[in-house]
A and B are shown apart, each in its own frame.
Chain A
Amino acid sequence: MHAEETSHVQVQPADKKKIQKIWKTAGILALITILEFIIAFTIPLEMATLRIAIFVAMTIVKAFYIVSEFMHLKYETKSLIWSIIIPLIFVVWMLIAFLYEGTAIFDVRYLN
């Protein structure tokens, strides 16, 4: 009975190109993670600003690949893409405001 109900379902053959693209994206993500490791142990911890800049840039690249390819956002309509991206401006503002606040607390604690 179960088989009868589902036997009419047409299984389409796998699209090789699509699957190749998925593995390519996975490869890029793995490669960036490995690079992050190499950087974590080659650039000395004393060069904090350079390290942070590289790590942030790599994280954004990784996030781009996950969101655009894996979550398929790149292939949605323009209006949907912007509806998701634009509100993230608030995150940028929060980051600036809170880091500013944190340094101000540091100054009050240790520099007076």
Chain B
Amino acid sequence: MSTTTQTIDGPKRSIWDGGQSPFKASYGKLMMWFFLLSDAFTFSALLITYGMVRSAHKAYPGDMADFTFSNEYWPVPEKVFNAVPFLHGYDLPLVFVGIMTFILIMSSVTMVLGVEAGHRMDRKAVEKWMLWTIIGGLVFLGCQAWEWTHYIVGTDSGTAMKFLVNGSWVEKTIFGANLSVNQYGPTDFADFFFFITGFHGTHVFSGVVLNFLIYYNTIKGVYDKRGSYEMVEKVGLYWHFVDLVWVFVFTFFYLV
């Protein structure tokens, strides 16, 4: 009720005139929000550019049952991402990505539970939930490492593709992908795969590092001494954002 306690003679002051916090949030939390907004623009730019390049390529024209990889048209993602560790040779479209999505959502849940425990000054619970969140992040990174390895190494038989070399068409068999060749489709597809999932993976990695710092400080009793667990909340915002971005990557890179 501090906004209404003005003297009768004084000029009317809006909450934007200084002396109080209009957003009712701390500096650190606000800055985290605006950083995340700017980060959202970066990821939007990556995903929208993917959309642009994809719409500038031909779509696969034929029947889905006889789909084959070719650099003539954009691949169907669920035909590309159909491998699962320890189940070599089975066609399991999107199963592994689904598991990764689930892991990241779960680590987001443990993060909120950690933030909630922080509000209650419950150090033991914060420690427990932060540890689960870190484990979730590391498992996700491990999954991504496997997925990248599989993508780079390629399928058993590779793909025969035609390239225009010095004015004549040459056929070559391509195994896997890097930034200049791609057995799964046009090179652009591989480039976007590496950049989008790589940029997201970098965020997950820095998120795990931040989570670990928070976990360490919690164990050390830093936040008990400070009398506030707000740092858990701030890093929590970042971690949820990483999960949020994955939701979009999952839809626009893997599902659509």
Contacts and interface: CB of A to CB of B under 8 A. Distances in A.
Are A and B associated in one complex?
Answer: yes
A14 B114 CA distance: 12
Given A9-B121, A84-B37, A102-B54, A33 B23 contact: no
Contacts of B251: 36, 55-56, 58-59
B interface majority secondary structure: helix
B237 A10 contact: no
A103 B43 CA distance: 21
B33 interface: yes
A105 B56 CA distance: 5
Contacts, number: 155
A90 B122 CA distance: 41
A102 B120 contact: no
A82 to B, nearest CB: 11
Given A71-B237, A106-B55, A19 B256 contact: no
Interface in B32-91: 33, 37, 40-41, 44-45, 48-49, 51-59, 64, 76, 78
Given A63-B247, A66-B247, A98-B51, A45 B64 contact: yes
A40 B76 CA distance: 12
A11 B121 contact: yes
Interface of B: 22-25, 30, 33, 37, 40-41, 44-45, 48-49, 51-59, 64, 76, 78, 93-94, 98, 101-102, 105-106, 108-109, 111-113, 116-117, 119-123, 125, 221, 224-225, 227, 236-237, 240-241, 243-244, 247-248, 251-252, 255-256
Interface of A: 2, 5-6, 9-15, 18-19, 22-23, 26, 29-30, 33, 36-37, 40-41, 44-46, 48, 51-52, 55-56, 58-59, 62-63, 66-67, 69-71, 76-77, 79-80, 83-84, 87-88, 90-91, 94-95, 98-99, 101-103, 105-106, 109-110
